[in-house]
Structure 1
């Protein structure tokens, strides 16, 4: 898809450059107007706004979108760009730019972008038919039960799908290449670099197939009610005007994913600037009350299971690990408590200032740096240590698909009153039902929760 993405970006930029030049020529019959600084500024603003909107709406994603969807995004891009530009020019009292020229730019730009997208989509389908840019797909089960018109469409490669064959324990049909039985699934997807699977009939060990598919980030489709729907979050995808159930991608991506990252970066940067005096005060208090560094770094599991070091203000004595090992070896009850929650309610290792920082959750403020770096999100599942992943069981594969967060559902529900199983359940609820408004809602509820100390350790 790099070919399509590269040309899509180049043609969108080219369309706006050409639209701007033609609009000025039609309006003034003289391209020397480009020498005026506001016209150049206007072009830069419109081009930047349009590109950002198209990018955040996912037009340049790796996954190829149907032409109709692309045209809708292109229209949104120009409408929002022009509207935002008019707001900027109104508030800055810039009235030099001809409004009629702006109308010309909108009409010509929209026409050129739609035309270029149509031509590019046609050329992309030609590349598909030549075997280029295809996504390999595997059919699981009795493929003879698939509607004939659908399988014929998929086999034409018109949608960028290349069916490499099928796996079945007892079906030997004509038309597709049988690659083995269901037990060969993991080996086959690796061998053929499979990116999507179509489960087309009830098969044994379907849960194992799905789990392997999720681990390998393979798109999973269900036809003929082949998957027990209550067990998995599903969504509908259209192929050749036919609705097909698709296992919901349990990871944050696309337009809302980019907006989440933009929100994280912006709010964390603003918070760090505003709270910088508080950082200085806390740092001095830690230094004056106990020997050792101001910050504490702890390894946790991040996105895709990558180990990250999250920052906190140090709330324990320097030799905390040695003290913990001794406590657990001497006291079986404390060991049982720690193994259940990975915490101690009355932890003797915590310093006096550390107790205050934990009660007010101020110890977690340095995690804003992790958010700025993209290792954490402001809202997400609780960042866990490596050995905790076993406690999530089958849910572990979902947990590592999204970035962990500073706050989340379990924090605003009162961390002291929520047991470990409930925390896991809340993390899964967040992952399965995530959207940008859920993040915003949690952020607003986090502040009163912290002030009431419901979210404190």
Structure 2
């Protein structure tokens, strides 16, 4: 028997979805306003107890409940935090920069207003820094709660149809479905046949691309995604020209596979209808090299404070666990191909090479695994008892913080490769030696020992070509998660 209440509820949800593009901006304003006011009141409590800054304490209610939230919300909208189809980490980046711009503006406004009245000391600037952190956390937490509620109820999703039922469509749907963003509701996929079991089992097929315009009008679709990077350009232009008059947004996937896209900039020559794609090599710029070095030194020194006692304890553990030196100082390939000594706690027995050779001779499956990954995932006869635990938690790499402070390594970067691996690196060698290797990196948080040697090279190549300070911050946060859950560790 059909549940009439359920049908009615689904119809109501669809009505909400169709109006979501109008509703969402107002919900974002309300959500952000509540987050900001909560953060302001937390700052006032902290100021009363610890800072006791006069400027913060005497802030008028009009500032707290109107002007400050208004300025912050304006800058947040300016950087596009309300946009759809934006992945989780990109949204966090937008929130950070929006808040930073807003608080710089507010700080200058307060300084100009108060110059002749109060002496502005360090407590005020410290308070602004604390407010930035509290507001950032408050807004991000509220955002995640809001998205979880929307996903749970299945509301406020943009109704869309895809053109092309292939692997690109599947990747887009899965990616946006797992990246904590206000996504879409797929009402159909236009193509002759499904080219993916996942799509066939979960979505409705709308036959015949030539009828795309009719489907859009019947379903009242405002957003169409053409996920066909290999489509003939004349066919693509024809489809866009047909459907553009009856829809609001058309997204299409260009054929840019293999091109670094994280730092891609779009240049428009309107009169000639030409687009120029500027692929920036961020790590080739001196200012970015300096920024990365400052980032490493400041964060490296902060990390040293809690790490030094742990290093002492680990040194004692390694010494008691097995015979041999505490550290294993191996040569690695650094910037411009120069070798350097990479510091690590010794995690293997002294006769490791012989143990490995004998083990691989007796275990053909392990030999095949070694040939592909240059690592053994489940059991490695060379590793000591202490070494197994240290590797699982990446503790054996903690001494590399001193390589970072010396400038031989970075906190985030490509894998530190062995000199004997140069031949296997092939054409990737030239790009990988353009920067210093890192303690952690893209491949370490995306599989580690589950990734083949060739896969690691591709990931390191991607990192260097797409580098930004924000990517380094994201990879550091992801590393913390990987270390605690031990994913892919060896």
Query: Which interval holds the TM-score relative to the shorter structure?
Result: 0.3 to 0.5
TM-score (norm 1): 0.46
TM-score (norm 2): 0.43
